[in-house]
Amino acid sequence: MPAEPSLAVIIVSYNVRGDLDRCLRSLQTVTPPGPMTVTVVDNRSADGTLAWLRETWPAVQALDAGGNVGFARANNLGIRATASDLVLLLNPDTEVPPDALVTLTAALLGDDRTAIVGPRLVDAADRPELSFGPMMSPWGEFTQRRLLRAVEAGASWAVARVERHTRQAGPRDWVSGACLLARRTDLEAVGLLDERYFMYTEDVDLCAAVRARGRVVRFVPAATVRHLRGRSGATAPAATERRRRESQLAFYRKHHPAWAPLLGWW
């Protein structure tokens, strides 16, 4: 890989033009690790995103997904439409500080075994998000949700635990697709994102596929990215929840088939 690796930033949008504008403005301030392109794949937004992009952000490659094809497939369209050494999957409801991409790239390229890295994600109030975790399982989901609900309720023990966990760098089973930097060779080796997932769990599945090849997924808290999560889903909460459940079941059918019938009934 060259000393200055090329980077393709892929952003999937769906009715989030205001958030997307803030995200693109933040990318204007970053120090890129090398030549950088930005591609937005729009899932047929009803807010005129594509026309607005072409007028306001002419340097951004704007792609029409042809409909609301979901997060995994739209990201794959963006990846296939670009050519770069590295690929950054980035949610439109994120803001990237100037030094984050250089820090992430250094962590990725500093170890030949590492295929994917993810930053520390924080919300608008700088509260950390638990943006990584163990391989998804019924018990893992239960413990993660219990912790997150305690954080939302303001339990001091839970807040302290998340703060502590999100300051510790190292290998993880998965990192969040809200901001995920990967080597293109590793993405192509596993066939990109699994398109059976419309939205949610595709990042966990991708990391599992990469780790199955003996590669490493790493959490890098030295890089921090702001994530104003859930904006796309907020436009259609009932449909979003249904899609989330469908993706969960697809994940269990693929990775834990014995659990799938019981969880499907539940």
Answer whether 204's CB lies under 8 Å from 180's CB.
no
Its pTM stands at 0.91
Helix (H) or strand (E) holding 132: strand 132-133
The whole-number pLDDT of residue 245 equals 72
The 10s digit of each residue's pLDDT in 37-87 is: 999 999 999 999 999 999 999 999 999 999 999 999 999 999 999 999 999
Three-state secondary-structure class, residue 12: strand
Residue 266 burial (C-beta neighbours within 10 Å; 0-12, 13-18, 19+)? exposed
The 10s digit of each residue's pLDDT in 1-24 is: 767 999 999 999 999 999 999 999
Answer whether 92's CB lies under 8 Å from 20's CB.
yes
